[in-house]
Amino acid sequence: MLFARRSTGRLVAPAPTGADLGTILRAAAAAPDHERLRPFRFTVLEGHAKEAFGEVLAAAYDSRCAAAGAAALPAKREKERTKLGRAPLVLVVSAVRQASATVPWLEQLAAAAAAAQNACLAATALGFGSMWRTGEPSYDAEVKAALGLGATDAVVGWLYLGSHRKGAVPAPNDPDLTGLLLPWPPP
């Protein structure tokens, strides 16, 4: 099952709902989490909320262009507005910074990333497709504010979830370990 998780750029209805969505969220919340700080947060965008958030992404693109003194490109703006349409449900995984004397922010981000991966794996186990994306909106203060996040919090991933088109289940991953094993002691 681990190797069956592959990224699928376009997913169709049905999205995971009800008990399946609950399982995906619970799997995410079961991620390893130093000191159980629970730094991860989840936002489910589907239906009208997904469309409304597309307007947020388009407005944030306009703001980024204005801040850079550049003209907004209509095609790029339209891509921002419609990009959440690539799947019937988008699960935003964020990390909200928790006060801790011992667990640095990097570890809180790592816990949220583990939550995102758990969600993708749970979706795969339930027969759904997934794709973890980020991009400029992840780092945009306007987008973070629209998600209820503070400037020092982080969007870790936009998980596109849904069903595979008929006959379009991707082949399992076949990882290549070349160059990944570091000899120790180092040469």
Ligand X SMILES: Cc1cc2nc3c(=O)[nH]c(=O)nc-3n(C[C@H](O)[C@H](O)[C@H](O)COP(=O)(O)O)c2cc1C
Instruction: Write out the binding residues for ligand X, residues 2-31 only, by CB under 6 A.
Output: 6-7
Our finding on whether 173 is near ligand X (CB under 6 A) is yes
Instruction: Write out the binding residues for ligand X, residues 52-81 only, by CB under 6 A.
Output: none
Least distance from ligand X to the Cβ atom of residue 176, Å: 11
Measured from the CB atom, the residue of 69 and 174 that comes closer to ligand X is: 174
Q: What is the CA angle 91-111-60, rounded to 5? A: 45
Question: Quick check: bond before 175 cis, omega within 30?
Answer: no
Tell me the β-bridge partners of 130. 7, 161
Residue 158 near residue 164 (C-beta atoms within 8 A): no
Our finding on whether 86 is near ligand X (CB under 6 A) is no
Least distance from ligand X to the Cβ atom of residue 127, Å: 16
Count residues near ligand X (CB under 6 A): 9
Our finding on whether 82 is near ligand X (CB under 6 A) is no
CA-based nearest residue to 141, from 82, 63, 85:
63
Our finding on whether 172 is near ligand X (CB under 6 A) is no
Least distance from ligand X to the Cβ atom of residue 134, Å: 4
List the alpha helices (DSSP H) in 98-161.
105-125, 141-146
Instruction: Write out the binding residues for ligand X, residues 112-151 only, by CB under 6 A.
Output: 131-135
Q: What is the DSSP letter of 163?
A: B
Measured from the CB atom, the residue of 7 and 82 that comes closer to ligand X is: 7
- Can you tell me the distance from the alpha carbon of 153 to that of 174, in angstroms, rounded to the nearest whole number? 34
Least distance from ligand X to the Cβ atom of residue 78, Å: 18
Chain centroid to CA 70: 28
Give the CA distances from residue 176 to residues 22, 152, 172, 173, in Å, rounded to whole numbers and listed in that order: 33, 36, 13, 9
Measured from the CB atom, the residue of 35 and 109 that comes closer to ligand X is: 109
Measured from the CB atom, the residue of 176 and 185 that comes closer to ligand X is: 176
Binding site for ligand X (CB under 6 A): 6-7, 131-135, 157, 173
